[in-house]
Amino acid sequence: MISEAATGYLAGPVLVIGTGLLGASAALGLRRHGLDVGLRDASPTAQRVAVDLGAGHVVAAGEGFLPELVIVATPPDVVAPVVSAALREFPDAVVIDIASVKGSVLAALRADEMLDAAALARYVGAHPMAGRERSGPVAARGELFTAAPWVVVPHEGSSAHAVKVTKAAGADLGASVTQMDAAAHDQAVALISHFPQVASSLLASRLLNAPAEALALAGNGLRDTTRIAASDPGLWIQILSHNAGQLLPILQGLRGDLDRLITTLQDPQAPGATLDLAQLMSEGNQGQSRIPGKHGAPPQSFATVGVIVDDRPGQIARLLADIGEAGINLEDLRMEHSAGYEVGLIEVQVLPGRRDELVAALTALDWKVVQ
């Protein structure tokens, strides 16, 4: 059922091929604009779940469905043949894929003898920088793309119309539309997405034989750095192998840094060793501070206020309501709770100019504020 019909940029209909996490999320997001959304998946189960979620209706081949846009949301290995088939099945449609890698898909399409320049002109790559650790349509959310980057990746032969439709899809999904070529895109995501995934998986794999007593001490440091290690291995094997060329220099750089750290720690009292460690930690500080905040805001532009809450139902809702009633906009929020404790720490982020006001308002309401 469509809960809220609003006019968007696309006219529709739209066909989504691959109704897993990303495809079903895109379909749900576009249905909100009242668009006619068709669905197709190689897995009848994934297709049925997406239909049951209200993401659209099944479109079989040869049904006479005439999409304005086809969104291919299959795993990277099969994206190019599925895009190629869609360009041929729907000769008037713009066809985009939303795979995490762009160069390998474009190279395969360019090498495809069944596609001429006119067909290729209707293809544009796209990449929403939004996802979850879970896969499949059950995890889909219509809001998944809200405020997330939607990278439009045209090739030299993409038509202006195809680029416009690709941008319109991102805008209708509430994303922040930006444009890059395939090489720049793949290099960027190797650093900001694929490398963190590898680092997180390598880190978490070190825990395999960790004693339970050690794991029981885990706090947010370990949780933060291993969150994405829970991602779908089947998908990531494909992403990493499709972008290996861009990832390798980054991993080689990491190996150099690791070798240096190991040498330093072998004799931490040696002349220069402490300075070396200080440099390494400080370079980490500097790199981390370069990550932009919410909506691309400058990094670290918010002030943090910590509040201790009892581990009882309704406490967080009450805190948020009190912040709202104080008339202060919450920019971000995170929770820290360690096993075995009956309190948690909520860190709320607000504009620096509102910090003192928030501390005063919460203290007056008997909240335990940590300065």
Ligand X SMILES: O=C(O)C(=O)Cc1ccc(O)cc1
d(CA 160, CA 183): 20
Give the range of 36-44, 112-120, 125-133, 317-325 binding ligand X by CB under 6 A.
125-133
How many residues make contact with ligand X (CB under 6 A)?
A: 6
Question: How far, in Å, are 79, 109, 249, 250, 359 from residue 116 at the CA level?
Answer: 18, 10, 35, 36, 64
- Please identify, using beta-carbon distances, which residue of 189 and 358 lies nearer to ligand NAI: 189
| Whether residue 154 has a cis bond before it, omega within 30° of 0 | no
Q: Judged by CB under 6 A, does residue 159 bind ligand X?
A: no
Contact 122, 95 (CB under 8 A): yes
- Please identify, using beta-carbon distances, which residue of 71 and 358 lies nearer to ligand NAI: 71
Q: Which does 78 bind (CB under 5 to 8 A by kind): ligand NAI, ligand X, none?
A: ligand NAI
CB proximity list for 132: less than 8 A, separation 6 or greater: 21, 139, 141, 144
Q: Judged by CB under 6 A, does residue 187 bind ligand X?
A: no
- Please identify, using beta-carbon distances, which residue of 23 and 154 lies nearer to ligand NAI: 23
Q: Which does 21 bind (CB under 5 to 8 A by kind): ligand NAI, ligand X, none?
A: ligand NAI
Q: Which does 17 bind (CB under 5 to 8 A by kind): ligand X, ligand NAI, none?
A: ligand NAI
- In terms of Cβ atoms closer than 10 Å to its own Cβ (0-12, 13-18, 19+), residue 225 is middle
- Please identify, using beta-carbon distances, which residue of 202 and 370 lies nearer to ligand X: 202
Q: Which does 359 bind (CB under 5 to 8 A by kind): ligand NAI, ligand X, none?
A: none
Question: How far, in Å, are 126, 305, 352, 364, 371 from residue 356 at the CA level?
Answer: 43, 9, 8, 12, 10
Q: Judged by CB under 6 A, does residue 170 bind ligand X?
A: no
Which of 20, 38, 76, 131 is in the footprint of ligand X by CB under 6 A?
131
Give the range of 124-132, 218-226, 321-329, 335-343 binding ligand X by CB under 6 A.
124-132
- In terms of Cβ atoms closer than 10 Å to its own Cβ (0-12, 13-18, 19+), residue 113 is exposed
Pairing relationship of beta strands 69-72 and 57-58 according to DSSP bridges: unpaired
* Residues 81-100 close enough to bind ligand X by CB under 6 A: 100
* AA identity, residue 190: A
- Please identify, using beta-carbon distances, which residue of 153 and 228 lies nearer to ligand X: 228
Contact 157, 120 (CB under 8 A): yes
Contact 229, 200 (CB under 8 A): yes
Residue 57 CB, nearest approach to ligand NAI (Å) = 16
Q: Which does 67 bind (CB under 5 to 8 A by kind): ligand X, ligand NAI, none?
A: none
Question: How far, in Å, are 264, 280, 286 from residue 274 at the CA level?
Answer: 8, 10, 18
Q: Which does 18 bind (CB under 5 to 8 A by kind): ligand X, ligand NAI, none?
A: ligand NAI
Q: Judged by CB under 6 A, does residue 18 bind ligand X?
A: no
Which is it for the CA torsion 136, 142, 143, 148, positive or negative?
Answer: positive
Residues facing residue 334 across a β-bridge: 347
**Footprint on this chain of ligand NAI (rule: CB under 6 A):** 17-23, 41-43, 46, 73-76, 78-79, 82, 98-100, 128, 131-132, 135-136, 235, 239
What mask of x and - would describe binding to ligand X in positions 228 to 247, judged by CB under 6 A? Answer: x-------------------
Residue 100 CB, nearest approach to ligand X (Å) = 3
Which residues in this chain contact ligand X in the complex, by CB under 6 A? 100, 129-131, 193, 228
